[in-house]
């Protein structure tokens, strides 16, 4: 029997199978990423409890209740209580350096408890660090929705482009994110996963202006803990980038090797050397998505799927998952 020649479709099938295996392999980089997320899970409730204490001192519950009762009595003109999840916290330094004056005494920073809250010292809602954290932190949920949560890591160092924009927009939609449209973030347009996450972290504040205009005092120890929590969020991005960089390097090496192979058997041998079971027959009988289309059940389902095509995106994803499950059983 003559050897089967390698082609682009076979290369893509082998590469996709390798990437799937690499993402599930328990490597140091993957473990580091998972540990970084676990640290955030540990610190988030601690930081929020501290925020409750600090905000509660600035806006006592009795005062909040009084303001609410006055609004109930007099209406909109006394609507001065709002909920927010982001705050400017500030502390005063005990001593100034020789090159500093009184304007340098207060140290302040913006801290946003929302899923898309920034992870560096910027206070911009358009800061990409918030999206990088959200995508990495909710990676599995985005994968389940057929999105690419690794897009920022994969495109690191590259200019904006249509491919990147397409995946960012899909991720934002899947998480239910919308740019904040009002001063107080309980009035933003988030839905779904983002709204559910954010809803855990709202506190009552008095004053409906932007949070920059209502800096809240805390002590140095409290401020430094907020910094530790925010740094833990930034570390999720760093560890995610390191893990994806490792996979991208592996992908590039695979692409280079597969491009040089003339026969399918060489690609199969490579996969076996990498401890990934695959054979020529499986590659030949599968289409480019990896489904065994000549299996009667799969082929019948695929043909039926060509009719009544006005399905929702969720229905299409469910059908795709059913195909994959059937393929694993065969």
Q: What is the pLDDT along the chain (330 residues), one digit of tens a residue?
A: 568 899 999 999 999 999 999 999 999 999 999 999 999 999 999 999 999 999 999 999 999 999 999 989 898 888 888 889 999 999 998 888 878 777 778 899 999 999 999 998 765 555 799 999 999 999 999 999 999 999 999 999 899 999 999 999 999 999 999 775 444 556 677 889 999 999 999 999 998 666 656 899 999 999 999 999 999 999 999 999 999 999 999 999 999 999 999 999 999 999 999 999 888 887 887 655 444 444 445 545 654 555 555 656 676 677 667 666 665 555
Q: Which of 228, 236, 234, 214 is nearest to 47 (CA)?
A: 228
SS3 content of the chain, % helix, strand, coil (to 5): 60, 10, 30
Q: Which of 171, 176, 179 is nearest to 142 (CA)?
A: 171
The CA–CA distances, whole Å, from 146 to 69, 174, 237, 283, 320 equal: 48, 9, 21, 23, 10
pTM for the whole structure: 0.81
93: Cα separation from own chain's centroid: 35
Question: Can you tell me the distance from the alpha carbon of 279 to that of 276, in angstroms, rounded to the nearest whole number?
Answer: 10
**Residue 133 near residue 236 (C-beta atoms within 8 A):** yes
Cβ-Cβ contacts under 8 Å for 194 (sequence gap 6 or more): 114, 115, 116, 134, 175, 176, 177
**Residue 192 near residue 159 (C-beta atoms within 8 A):** no
3-state class (DSSP) for residue 112: strand
């Amino acid at each position: 029997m003559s050897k089967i020649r390698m082609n682009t479709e076979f290369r893509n099938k082998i590469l996709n199978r390798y990437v799937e295996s690499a993402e599930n392999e328990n490597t140091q980089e993957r473990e580091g990423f998972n540990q970084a997320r676990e640290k955030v899970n540990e610190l988030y409730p601690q930081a929020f409890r501290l925020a409750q204490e600090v905000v509660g001192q600035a806006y006592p519950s009795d005062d909040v209740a009084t303001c609410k009762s006055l609004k109930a009595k007099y209406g909109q003109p006394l609507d001065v209580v709002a909920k927010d999840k982001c705050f400017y916290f500030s502390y005063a330094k005990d001593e100034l350096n020789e090159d500093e004056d009184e304007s340098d005494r207060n140290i302040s920073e913006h801290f946003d408890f929302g899923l898309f809250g920034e992870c560096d010292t910027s206070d911009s809602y358009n800061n990409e660090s918030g999206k990088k954290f959200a995508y990495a932190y909710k990676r599995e949920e985005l994968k389940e929705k057929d999105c690419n949560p690794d897009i920022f890591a994969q495109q690191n160092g590259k200019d904006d482009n249509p491919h990147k924009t397409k995946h960012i927009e899909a991720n934002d939609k899947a998480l239910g994110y919308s740019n904040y449209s009002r001063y107080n973030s309980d009035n933003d347009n988030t839905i779904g996963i983002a709204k559910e996450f954010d809803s855990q972290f709202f506190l009552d504040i008095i004053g409906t202006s932007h949070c920059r205009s209502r800096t809240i005092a805390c002590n140095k120890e409290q401020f430094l803990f907020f910094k530790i929590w925010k740094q833990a969020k930034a570390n999720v991005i760093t560890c995610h980038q390191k893990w994806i960089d490792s996979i991208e390097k592996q992908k590039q090496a695979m692409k280079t090797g597969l491009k040089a192979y003339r026969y399918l058997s060489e690609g199969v041998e490579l996969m076996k050397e990498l401890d990934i079971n695959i054979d020529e027959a499986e590659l030949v009988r599968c289409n480019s998505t990896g489904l065994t289309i000549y299996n009667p059940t799969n082929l019948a389902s695929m043909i039926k799927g060509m009719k009544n095509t006005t399905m929702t995106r969720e229905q299409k994803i469910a059908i795709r998952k059913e195909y994959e499950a059937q393929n694993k059983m065969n």
